[in-house]
Each structure stands twice: as structure tokens, then as C-alpha cells.
Amino acid sequence: MTDPKPALRSILPEYQAPFGTLVIKAVKAMVPGHEPLLANIRSSSVDHLADESIAEAHGGVMGGTAMSARMKVQIEAIVQTDLDAWYNMLWSAAEQFAGHQMRYLLASVEAATQRAGNAVNLKGGPFTYDAMLDLLERTEFEVDDDGQPIGLSMVVAPSMAEQIGKLGPMTPEQEERHKQIIAEKRRAQDVWSPETLAGIVRKFWRVAPRVTD
């Protein structure tokens, strides 16, 4: 039997670019299947990145990391168009990329919260509702008409999730503090709502002097 690899290399080069584009799109589409949180993150391409010092001057964190994945598929699967083998290869690559992205995302969030002063240090103690309320108070988020946070996700380790599951109900004092935090977030949100800003503009327009030629 002859080695099929040389023949394969002579056939595939012209398909290399479209094949790479297909793989990238397929893997990106599969990544949220491994980490649903990543579905909430918008991805876009840019021609250039701002200087890191500019991001730091505005209190931001900017950086990058190289990500790679190992993909393995049998030559026979390529020749015979074995869709199951292709799917398993892409699904495995998506799992690897999801792991890379989650580690990078959590490291970036940790750096940003530390820099902004939004981190809550448990100092080795257990997770409590008071700590959770501290987090809510320091986090910027919007609230819907029913008083529910919009787009707010909490990512914790399995051991922490187990602690949260054993917390039990809030005390009346904690429930009251929670209501106050939500109400304050709603007030801050309404201050800069489009309707409020439009009202400010209309009021200014009525009292501002007209300038004519």
C-alpha cells in the first residue's frame, strides 16, 4: 500500500484557505456548547489595537493570548467524508478553545475587578449572602421592569457552588438590603435613560436663548 499523505498534500493546498475558514467558523459556533457563558461575549475583528498605556490610563485592562487546539482525523474520514469523524474533531477543538477562552476571560475579569476596586475578599471564610450583596453593590448592571438584573452571570468553582446551595434563605435584613441595592441600580439607570435625557434636552431647548444671524 502506498502512503496517501504525499498525494493528499498535492491535492489539498488549494483548499487550505477555505478549509481553515470553515473550521474556524464551525469551532466558534460550537464553543458555547461547552461554555454557555461565552455565548454572551461579542466577537469582532479589528485592524489595530490601542496602546496598552491608553487602556491603563482609562482604568481598563488590555492584553492578548495565543490559543491553539489539536485536531486529529483519519485520512479515511477525509476521503470518505465521514461526517461523524469531522464533527467529533471539531467538537474536541471547540472544547479546547472554550477552556482557553474561559481561563483568559476569568483572569481578565479578576485583573479588571482588582484594578477597579470591585473585588470582595472573603479572607478564607465561607461564602455568605452578605458577600454576595457586597458583590451586587459593587457591580454595574441594568435592571428590568420586574426588578431582575439584566445579563448578570455568576461564575464560581464547583466547591463554591456547593456552598451557595447550602446557604438557605436570606434573613429579613439581607432581603431588605437586596431590595435597596436593586432600587439604587434602577435609579442610577433611570437617570441616564433615553427618556430622561430627551426630557433634559427638551427643557434646555425651551430655556436656552435662540441665536440667530
Tell me how far CA of residue 163 lies from CA of 126, 129, 138, 177, in angstroms. 8, 11, 22, 21
Q: What is the pLDDT of residues 5-25, one digit of tens each?
A: 444 444 556 767 777 788 888
Phi, psi angles (nearest 5°) of residue 209: -70, 140
Q: What is the pLDDT of residues 178-193, one digit of tens each?
A: 999 998 888 887 765 5
Interval 95-121 mean pLDDT? 81
- Domain ranges in the chain? 4-116, 129-207
Centre a 10 Å sphere on the Cβ of residue 91 and count the other Cβ atoms it contains: 14
Centre a 10 Å sphere on the Cβ of residue 90 and count the other Cβ atoms it contains: 19
What are 143's strand-pairing partners?
Answer: 149
Phi, psi angles (nearest 5°) of residue 143: -125, 140
Nearest by Cα to 69 from 51, 39, 91, 44 = 91
Q: Is residue 204 very low, low, confident or very high in pLDDT (cuts 50, 70, 90)?
A: low
- Provide the mean pLDDT of the chain: 75
Higher pLDDT, 117 or 31: 31
Q: Is the pTM of this model over 0.75?
A: no
Angle value at C-alpha 41, between 141 and 190, nearest 5 degrees: 20
Q: Is residue 197 very low, low, confident or very high in pLDDT (cuts 50, 70, 90)?
A: low
| Lookup: cell for 146 | 420586574
| Lookup: cell for 180 | 435597596
